[in-house]
Amino acid sequence: MLGFLSARQTGLEDPLRLRRAESTRRVLGLELNKDRDVERIHGGGINTLDIEPVEGRYMLSGGSDGVIVLYDLENSSRQSYYTCKAVCSIGRDHPDVHRYSVETVQWYPHDTGMFTSSSFDKTLKVWDTNTLQTADVFNFEETVYSHHMSPVSTKHCLVAVGTRGPKVQLCDLKSGSCSHILQGHRQEILAVSWSPRYDYILATASADSRVKLWDVRRASGCLITLDQHNGKKSQAVESANTAHNGKVNGLCFTSDGLHLLTVGTDNRMRLWNSSNGENTLLTGQARSLTPVIPALWEAEVNYGKVCNNSKKGLKFTVSCGCSSEFVFVPYGSTIAVYTVYSGEQITMLKGHYKTVDCCVFQSNFQELYSGSRDCNILAWVPSLYEPVPDDDETTTKSQLNPAFEDAWSSSDEEG
């Protein structure tokens, strides 16, 4: 660390590299924060969380009780022990409250003045944050499982919606109507996600075991149907052109949009190249971690068994701004943490006492928030203290986590 700071002071080190190294160290030190509570409002399980990207200060939660809560994550009391208070909520007594379970909440990506929610009551609602009144309501014929707005698009205001039907619906916030439909899946759509890299690229996951990438500008729509065998199995084989051997109920792009992670009820998580749709487990090649780390990972990306018993969408998340990116996946009553490009399981975060259904990463301070069927939201923050080696022995390189080791190597050592 001292070598890192010295090299930075003399201008030999890129400041971005130091930031990534520190972010990596903080993620590797995540632990349950016993000094920070999140006010308990929900009377049922927490299905979905979202932190607004503008300030990173306000968090939305949606529960199986149909309630939506808005939290302020900032410690305004300046005390070491504090509670993240609910600023406001859309409770059971609100005239526009969802009648059934809220499955997804999302902030409008460019402004905290608006957010969206979707529910088993077959509606997608657009809310004015200041008045807590609905600005628009989209009604569907089927139960809504998931929706998503593009985090980067300035060219369209489309909301992708996955329902119990096999068609993906695209709702236009500007016109207030369903603009068009994407057809190709055979069963319900359990998860949808826009690319954080390209305005018009959408990924969808279905109970038909398939994941599709779409360019919504094209008449045909579908670009790629992900194949776990990379086309090496005969089309007559049942698993051909399927991403998993079970329902695919979760997907998430890496922060740079170059790769896509999917989870399925076959207890597997897979990493895909989002440009050509290849399963990286079979190609045996993952890209270099970041431009500042020259080493290319050639190992197969295999995460092993990733327990997934969810009958609906599973909301997992990835880190952003680290030397080695991480993925956080609900795993029973815990959250499993893996390095994205090596597949190594770093740790299991334990604190909930019932199934975890969602988690969200706060990249400004490298914090994680998780929601569970125990009705609690827990905060996971970087440890303030470095672990002390036993018997005053210096920790050797072989004992260090590889991601941590790469992050803290100095320019002299790379030499």
Please state the rounded mean pLDDT for residues 122-136.
Answer: 96
- The tally of domains found in the chain comes to 2
**Nearest-angstrom CA–CA distance, 67 and 60:** 11
Both tokens assigned to 57: 């200060």
At residue 268, the pLDDT reads: 95
Instruction: Average the pLDDT over 189-209 and give the result.
Output: 96
State the average pLDDT for the chain: 86
Collapse the DSSP code of 276 into the 3-class scheme (helix H, G, I; strand E, B; otherwise coil) and give the result: coil
CA 409 – CA 415 distance, rounded (Å): 10
> Does 168 share its domain with 207?
yes
Residue 176, in any domain of the structure: yes
390 within a domain of the structure (yes/no): no
Q: Which long-range contacts (CB under 8 A, 24 or more apart) does 157-164 make?
A: 158/216, 159/116, 159/124, 160/192, 160/193, 160/194, 160/202, 160/204, 161/118, 161/124, 161/192, 162/188, 162/189, 162/190, 162/191, 162/192, 162/204, 162/205, 162/313, 163/122, 163/188, 163/189, 164/188
Determine the 3-state secondary structure of 118 from DSSP: strand
pLDDT at 31 over 90: yes
pLDDT at 2: 59
Indicate whether 71 belongs to any domain. Answer: yes
CA distance 405 to 415: 15
Q: How far is CA 4 from the centre of its chain?
A: 31
pLDDT digits (tens, 9 = 90+) for 305-317: 999 988 889 999 9
Find the helix or strand (DSSP H, E) in which 5 lies.
Answer: helix 2-9
pLDDT higher than 60, residue 386: no
pLDDT at 389 over 50: no
Establish if 214 belongs to a structural domain.
yes
Q: Quick one: average pLDDT of 136-141?
A: 96
Cβ within 8 Å of residue 8, ≥6 positions away:
15, 18
Q: 87 CB contacts (<8 Å, ≥6 apart)?
A: 58, 70, 71, 72
Both 172 and 192 in a single domain? yes
Q: Is the pLDDT of residue 236 over 70?
A: no
Whether residue 69 is found in the same domain as residue 155:
yes
Q: Examine the domain organization and report whether 272 and 364 are in the same domain.
A: no
DSSP state of 361: E
Same domain as 65, residue 207 = yes
In a domain, 270, yes or no: yes
Distance of CA 30 to the CA centre of its chain: 17
Any domain includes 414 = no
- 78 and 119 part of one domain: yes
Distance CA 319, CA 340 (A): 9
CATH of the domain at 203: 2.130.10.10
Instruction: State which residues form the domain around 362.
Output: 7-34+321-336+348-383
Q: Are 164 and 142 in contact (CB under 8 A)?
A: yes
Hey, is 74 helix, strand or coil? coil
Same domain, 20 and 58: no
Pairwise CA distance, residues 146 & 163, whole Å: 7
Closest CA to 263 of 384, 350, 356: 356
pLDDT at 7: 64
Using the predicted structure, report yes or no on whether residue 388 has a pLDDT greater than 90: no
114 and 127 fall within a common domain: yes
What does the DSSP 8-state code read for residue 25?
H
Does this model's pTM top 0.85?
yes
310 and 249 together in one domain: yes
Examine residue 40 and state whether it is found in any structural domain, yes or no.
yes
In percent, the amount of the chain with pLDDT more than 70 equals 83
Q: Which of 150, 172, 47, 39 is nearest to 98 (CA)?
A: 47
